[in-house]
Structure 1
Amino acid sequence: MVPGVKALQEIRHLQRTTELLIPRIAFQRVVRDVTDKAYMRGPRNNWMQVALKRCVGIAGHEMCIFPSRDPLSEFRFQEAAEVYLTCMFEDCNLAAIHARRVTIMPKDMHLVRRLRGESTMMT
């Protein structure tokens, strides 16, 4: 079998599906952990507050990260996060291809975020 055929088949399959890829419970745990840390005082957690505000903006409303945890809001938030990440990785892949590489690197992510006008600083 030619190298990469299985990977390409998996990519095509995932591109055709619409279900969420991140397990719901694991996603909720990460969101809860990030929100708990984001609301702690201090400059170290500033990037979390910015990320949280950006996700709220993507979803279009305040959702499951706040006291009312309604399942539809949780679904919308997870869907918005997965769409954002998918688009980010697609653009990072294009940046890597432009640099004549097949592997994305942190510098690709920094470039994409800078071109989008997003902050690249994590603190």
Structure 2
Amino acid sequence: MAAMTRSQRVFLALSLGLMLAIFLFSSQPGDESSSVSFWFARWLAKWIGEDGAQFLVRKGAHFTIYALLGFCLLQSFGSRPKSFFWVVAFCVLFAALDEFHQSFVPGRSAQLRDVLLDGCGSATGAAISRFFLKHK
């Protein structure tokens, strides 16, 4: 197996940073997490209401951070065979473990739909990453 390039090491470091950020966000109690997402959703609330804005921001954050994780992880593995499958499988496992961890945080709960959304985000990010790797 070839050694990792500098670029692959950078993407691996970014992946680890994203995983730490996900863990830290999941460690926030429910009321603190809601206040953070409301800060982002404030301007949306005028058009779709507070509940709709909260929902959109929270689910959009799930999809986006896992899309970034899928992108970075696939970039760190390069175009190795089956890397897309392993990256998405890892992200889904990480999402499931993170939801389990979240079930122990006051005011939070584990949601299967969040794991599914995270999996879709990671597959999207990995697919975009695969496109860039093929067109280098």
TM-score by length of 2: 0.31
More helix by share: 2
Larger RCO, structure (CA 8 Å, separation 6 or more): 2
TM-score by length of 1: 0.34
